[in-house]
Structure 1
Amino acid sequence: MFKFLRKYNKWILAVGGTLLMIVFLIPQAIEGLAHSAGAERATRATIGEDNTRIRNAVWSEVNREMDFIRRRERFEPFFPELGRIENVGHWYLLSLEAERAGLVPASGSIGISREEIEAAAAGTGLSPRIIERTFAKLFGVERLIESYLTAGESSDRRVRHFASRILHEVDTEYFVINASSEGVDFEPSDQQLREQLERYGKVDPGEGDHGFGYRLPHRVKLEWITISADAIREMLLDSEDMSRVEQRIHWKRNPDGNLPQFVEGATEVPEEVRQDLLARLMERRVEEIARYARDQLRASQRGLSQVDGYYVLPDDWSEQQLEFPELAERVRTRFDIELPAYRAIGDRWLTLDELDELNGIADGETTRFGSEPLGLRELVQSARQLDGSAMVQIQRDIAGPPLVDLEQNIYLFRITDVDPRRAPQNVDEVREQLVRDLRRLEHFRRLSEQTSEMEQRLRDRGLLDAAIRHGEEIRRARLSICDLNEVQMRLMTQQPLKLVPTNIPGLGPIRPTLEAVVDQARHLDALERRGETVRDEDRRFVLPVEDRLAVMVGRIRDQSPLSRDEYELYAQFGLFTELIRAEESGGEADLAEAFGYDALAARHQFRILRDDDEIDPAELEEIDLDELASAE
């Protein structure tokens, strides 16, 4: 028996060890599979009166499509008329409406080559199937928007009237009195502050009436270390890698064939050879340092469990994690360079716009998540606790990928705290803005009450006296309701056609004010055509501009009606008819009202379930995507 065991001991150990390993791992594997299956079947959202459930598996795929869209919308939105797609739910509902309308083409007939799809997949890390399906849905949504914007033909008389009004040019001189928080003795009450916050607390700054809006943007706190390219370069210059022997070897090898001809016995190595060698060494050393720092950080994360690619951090993670000052010291010791600079901003919140202003690190980029470089702003915005991303997995208290700028400085960063976009919790969070805006509103109200007095003084003493009295500078501008140059630019760049108001210097493109000036000028023109006398005081105007909380005081100097030749020139291309269609469709505001996320969610009774949401399982029904898309 013992002889048998000695003879086959290796086989017995191998087979027995394998069986023990199987017995040990099978329960964990079963548990992992069960957890994965459970996560995929969990309900992420509901839709419709019957609360039809949308599973995590479906939501995950839509999230990947949205990740591709976010990357492509970095510079301009897919649908300029609608603006950027707000979130995953918005994209889900938009594509759903396009599918229900039968406007989404089959994946094989979207007019994009397989090479283009595979290139997009390689650049984003997404599968070609996801890329192709996303493009098909984008085409469907585009056709949905186009069909909504299309309107019927207008009569020739109506087109002529419309054209003559929007392109009637008026030569004006004027000045602007802006309402100011300093210009009125007024202190808003606590009740007024609360009412103002209640009305505009969920509105983004600049988006509400008069530009009011107090919703706080995404904000973060950050820490980072900077490994200076100068320090790395100085270390290399003092190293054996840059010795005269290594320089001569590099000169002789001439790896790219772009160096001067090697001269045997030369006493001096050309400067361009030295710089070429240094550049190659810099590239390798920067990559080596970044990899070392990343490995040090990963070592401290070893043993942490993950869910959907994100680490589950223990309560005492702040004590376990590798501190950045310690990491900086390790880098200094390992590579014999100057101690990397450490900086932390923990005493105040940083908005995404303020991240762009951080010296140095704002210029760093990484290709960790695809061939398309991502900077600090995009990475932070993709954090799980903010917008989130299926492909760019960043989270609070876990260091992001190393960033490198054009000068080869290396940056290692970590988000230490997050405050997602939200309405202020109380008046004190935005008290300064509230007080300033209510004072401006009160000043504008008092200015508006003085318009009759201003008009009388303007008639009696003229524009110059009025400008001096208010301490304002007189401007001069040719105004029309429609900025023809902007419309032509939209045509040339194949943007959706819409009426773009002329910019009023000092005020902006305020259409109601433009219309008031143009209509007054056209009335004077009609009087002159009938042979009636037009007095100089009839050319003067005082116009409250409520959108900007300002008053425009001015005088009409001259005007240029649209000529017949100009009308015929633009009419033959259908310009005015298309502008009327855009006006009748309601333009961007009406489109946002029809296809914005809030409108779509209300129309479809769509609700995303958060972690703390509860819903009776009996109220949920299984979702069939094909049936949902084809439902009437």
Structure 2
Amino acid sequence: MLKFLRKYNKALFAFFSVTLILTWLVPSAIQEFSKNSASSNAVWATVGNGETITLAEQQKLTRQVKMIDVLQIPFSKEIGINGNPGQWYLLVREAKQAGLVGGPSEGKELLEKIVGGQANPGEAMSQSSQQYMMLLGEMCRAGGCQPPVVYETLSQLAGVARMLSLTGSAPRLSEARLKSDAQNALTGLSADVVVISADMPLPTNDPQPTPEQVEKLVKENADKEPGKGSHGMGYRQSEKVQLEWFVIPAQQVRDQMANDPRLSNVELRKAFLRNPTSFGAKIGEVDPNFDAFKDQVRTKLLNQITASRMDEMAKFIADQAQLSTRALPKDGIYTKLPNDWQNLPGLPGLPALAADMAKQFGVAVPKVEIVGPTVVSGLNSVNGLGTATSDRFGTQPTPLAQLVAMTKELKPTEVRAVLQVGVIGPPLRAPDPSRAPRTNPNQPAPANQELTTDLFAFRVLQAMPAHAAANAAEVGAIATQDEQKLLRFAVLESNLSAIETKAKESGLESVAREYNTKVDFAPQIRAADMKFIQYGMKMPTAISGLGEDATVVNEIVKRALAIPQGEFANSSDAARTFVIASPNKLAIVAVHVRDVLPMYAEDYNGLANNQRFRNAITDESNQVKIVDEFSFAALSARNKFTIAKEPTGPVDASAPEPPIDSAG
């Protein structure tokens, strides 16, 4: 026995060691396997009529959501798919029930569309093929799965997108409801109308606003853009600038260069002989007659010499601006100027530059002019200067107003030009009329057309960025006028019943005389103008003296339709007369309906199949809101979805990365 043990001791030791290890590990392994198996089969949620979703399925859904996150699709964030496997499951479930989800091949096609190509075996990979493989690999890594699962997920995503698109484009509107809405919009009427606007003084006791009332109005609308506040008020102050500028007319330089030695007869003849055809001579003509083309040659050379001189002047302006700030400290790309930069020696203004220009080039001293403070857009109306542009910032000429809007002190969002208060700006040139569009684009500009591209120099003296109005004084008289309109409208609105009574008893003419206005006849008043509704634009009929006010028009039509059609012809004038307030326009509208213009079946039938008409006629309450319709709460309620157990741990991310199989 001892001999046997000595002979096989190593084998026996190995056997019993393995047996001991297995005896120790097997129970825990069985226990762990049972635990994982039970966990995977545990119910995570229920849906519908008792249908269950296991934790294993929930983990797959989580991986799918992670793959979708890689694509960064906007609607997935809007409706809340990100990080919500439950919502993704419900979206896919409804898309499948609607028959909108295809097979994995559709997912493969979608991936090809996203990157614009596919990797084909045995072929050199193009850029799109590389992008295809990179995106496929990234999605596989994000979800920890093989390509077939990616294709399955993408096919489901395509089905969900198709479902959302179909739902969003289909208004929740029955044919009967559409016809009713169309009748309200297209039924019109002819009427006499009197508009009493708060713009006009009241006949008696015209209210006058107090300073306190004006200040309160400005404070309430200080940061609102004009027309965007209540009743169209708004006092936010636009960007304003003040400039100094001068112009050097091209004609003045042209006259100066007319006696240049380069325009002597000898030089003109030399230029002509170098290229006769450029001056109008026929191609191939032997010994063309110079005298016949002398005027054309002189005009063209004079234009060239003048343009060269103007370029020298423009360079001089740019150089002087750069030299004046070279010795000053810098603040990034800008020059650092003190608050009293006007008194800074070595920083020339436009008057000094104008004198230097006259001395350097022998022209008359340009007159320096001041414009502003004015809104930046108002610079376009400055004669001459308003049309000037710079070609130094981009491929297209930059207009003056756009250039000035980039001034540092205005805190611009776009900075292509370095411009600041106190520093001379880049030289500007007026548009060249010879390059303006012609009636016949095939007809060249005349060779003898004079050059008129004037040269401008400018400097920004003040720049005030857009800001909320500080007080009524900054706004000016417009705030007082607006407050007075509000007070007048309040008086008119309080007298609405009295005005309506007078209109019913004495007619619209008496109301018009009292309030110093007139009676206008409106042949058609409709909530939707027939000329525009066919193109998808629901625009109410504009009323003379009031303009467009959908609320007023809808109320007029509503009151007119309240009179039974069979009784309308025999109804009294008083029954067809009413008064409506228009808070949006600060006006009172008195109406006497003459006739109702019904919507005819021919009109409706011609428009009913027009999708633009259907979209326009449907109000917002009938539109499907995708975000609300497919929110997690709405989906859960429709599908009876209930989470039974939240996962206790994260999705297993320790699994090895799967190989990328492009063939799927």
Residue 204 of structure 1: aligned partner: 225
Give the match's secondary structure for 2:278: coil
CA deviation profile, 1:260-314 (whole Å, cap 9, x unmatched): 4587565464544433333333333322221221111111121345444333335
CA deviation profile, 1:199-233 (whole Å, cap 9, x unmatched): 11111121111221111111111111111122122
CA deviation profile, 1:13-65 (whole Å, cap 9, x unmatched): xxxxxxxxxxxxxxxxxxxxxxxxxxxxxxxxxxxxxxxxxxxxxxxxxxxxx
Give the match's secondary structure for 2:575: helix
C-alpha distance in 2 between matches for 1:226 and 1:453 = 63
Give runs of aligned pairs for residues 85-124 of structure 1, distance below 5 A.
100=77
Is residue 548 of structure 2 the alignment partner of residue 548 of structure 1? no
Residue 433 of structure 1: aligned partner: 478
Is residue 345 of structure 2 the alignment partner of residue 298 of structure 1? no
C-alpha distance in 1 between matches for 2:213 and 2:573 = 44
Is residue 173 of structure 2 the alignment partner of residue 154 of structure 1? yes
Counterpart AA for 1:416:
L
Shift of 1:160: 1.0
- 2:246 is aligned, of 218, 221, 225, to 225
TM-score, length basis structure 1: 0.64
C-alpha distance in 1 between matches for 2:608 and 2:473 = 56
Which shows bigger deviation, 315-324 or 331-340? 315-324
Residue 499 of structure 1: aligned partner: 538
Shift of 1:487: 4.6
Residue 239 of structure 1: aligned partner: 260
- The answer on whether the counterparts of 1:217 and 1:420 sit within 8 Å (CA) in structure 2 is yes
CA deviation profile, 1:403-434 (whole Å, cap 9, x unmatched): 21124111122211111111222332235233
Shift of 1:350: 0.8
- 1:578 is aligned, of 610, 615, 621, to 615
Is residue 488 of structure 2 the alignment partner of residue 469 of structure 1? no
Q: 1:368/1:505 Cα in 2 relative to 1: closer, same or farther (>3 Å)?
A: farther
Q: 1:258/1:266 Cα in 2 relative to 1: closer, same or farther (>3 Å)?
A: closer
Shift of 1:238: 3.1
- The answer on whether the counterparts of 2:219 and 2:471 sit within 8 Å (CA) in structure 1 is no
Q: 1:516/1:217 Cα in 2 relative to 1: closer, same or farther (>3 Å)?
A: same
C-alpha distance in 2 between matches for 1:459 and 1:470 = 16
C-alpha distance in 2 between matches for 1:465 and 1:572 = 47
- 2:468 is aligned, of 411, 423, 428, to 423
C-alpha distance in 2 between matches for 1:296 and 1:176 = 61
Give runs of aligned pairs for residues 213-612 of structure 1, distance below 5 A.
213-254=234-275, 257=278, 259-261=280-282, 266-267=290-291, 269-314=293-338, 317-318=341-342, 319=344, 320-345=346-371, 349-386=373-410, 387-406=412-431, 407-430=452-475, 432-477=477-522, 478-488=524-534, 491=535, 499-524=538-563, 527-529=564-566, 533-580=570-617, 583-584=620-621
C-alpha distance in 2 between matches for 1:146 and 1:291 = 59
Residue 650 of structure 2: aligned partner: none
Counterpart AA for 1:330:
D
- The answer on whether the counterparts of 1:200 and 1:212 sit within 8 Å (CA) in structure 2 is yes
CA deviation profile, 1:490-512 (whole Å, cap 9, x unmatched): x5xxxxx5533332232221111
- The answer on whether the counterparts of 1:154 and 1:577 sit within 8 Å (CA) in structure 2 is no
CA deviation profile, 1:461-496 (whole Å, cap 9, x unmatched): 3233432333323333322112343455xx5xxxxx
Which shows bigger deviation, 317-326 or 211-220? 317-326
Q: 1:96/1:295 Cα in 2 relative to 1: closer, same or farther (>3 Å)?
A: farther
Shift of 1:363: 0.6
Which structure: larger Rg? 2
Q: 1:467/1:314 Cα in 2 relative to 1: closer, same or farther (>3 Å)?
A: closer
C-alpha distance in 2 between matches for 1:356 and 1:149 = 44
Aligned length: 450
Counterpart AA for 1:440:
K
C-alpha distance in 1 between matches for 2:166 and 2:308 = 55
Counterpart AA for 2:227:
G
C-alpha distance in 1 between matches for 2:276 and 2:179 = 71
Residue 189 of structure 1: aligned partner: 210
Q: 1:250/1:414 Cα in 2 relative to 1: closer, same or farther (>3 Å)?
A: same
Counterpart AA for 2:360:
R
Give the match's secondary structure for 1:448: helix
- The answer on whether the counterparts of 1:214 and 1:430 sit within 8 Å (CA) in structure 2 is yes
Which shows bigger deviation, 248-257 or 479-488? 248-257
Task: Give me the identity figure in percent.
Answer: 25
Shift of 1:344: 2.0
Counterpart AA for 1:321:
L
Q: 1:96/1:178 Cα in 2 relative to 1: closer, same or farther (>3 Å)?
A: farther
Which shows bigger deviation, 459-468 or 510-519? 459-468
Shift of 1:549: 1.2
Q: 1:223/1:532 Cα in 2 relative to 1: closer, same or farther (>3 Å)?
A: closer
Uncovered stretches (5+) of structure 1, i.e. residues with no partner:
1-94, 112-144, 492-496, 591-632
CA deviation profile, 1:136-173 (whole Å, cap 9, x unmatched): xxxxxxxxx99998674311111111111112222233
- The answer on whether the counterparts of 2:504 and 2:578 sit within 8 Å (CA) in structure 1 is no
TM-score, length basis structure 2: 0.61
Shift of 1:377: 1.2
- The answer on whether the counterparts of 2:422 and 2:459 sit within 8 Å (CA) in structure 1 is yes
Give the match's secondary structure for 1:412: strand
C-alpha distance in 2 between matches for 1:584 and 1:271 = 74
- The answer on whether the counterparts of 1:480 and 1:502 sit within 8 Å (CA) in structure 2 is yes
C-alpha distance in 1 between matches for 2:179 and 2:415 = 52
- The answer on whether the counterparts of 1:151 and 1:585 sit within 8 Å (CA) in structure 2 is no
Uncovered stretches (5+) of structure 2, i.e. residues with no partner:
1-71, 82-109, 117-163, 432-451, 626-664
Counterpart AA for 1:227:
I
Shift of 1:362: 0.6
- The answer on whether the counterparts of 2:171 and 2:622 sit within 8 Å (CA) in structure 1 is no
Q: 1:248/1:96 Cα in 2 relative to 1: closer, same or farther (>3 Å)?
A: farther
Shift of 1:514: 1.0
- The answer on whether the counterparts of 1:248 and 1:269 sit within 8 Å (CA) in structure 2 is no
- The answer on whether the counterparts of 1:150 and 1:585 sit within 8 Å (CA) in structure 2 is no
Give runs of aligned pairs for residues 50-129 of structure 1, distance below 5 A.
100=77
C-alpha distance in 1 between matches for 2:468 and 2:560 = 45
Residue 616 of structure 1: aligned partner: none
Residue 67 of structure 1: aligned partner: none
C-alpha distance in 2 between matches for 1:338 and 1:471 = 58
Q: 1:372/1:170 Cα in 2 relative to 1: closer, same or farther (>3 Å)?
A: farther
Give the match's secondary structure for 1:321: coil
- 1:164 is aligned, of 153, 171, 183, to 183
Q: 1:408/1:256 Cα in 2 relative to 1: closer, same or farther (>3 Å)?
A: farther
Shift of 1:97: 7.0
Q: 1:146/1:468 Cα in 2 relative to 1: closer, same or farther (>3 Å)?
A: farther
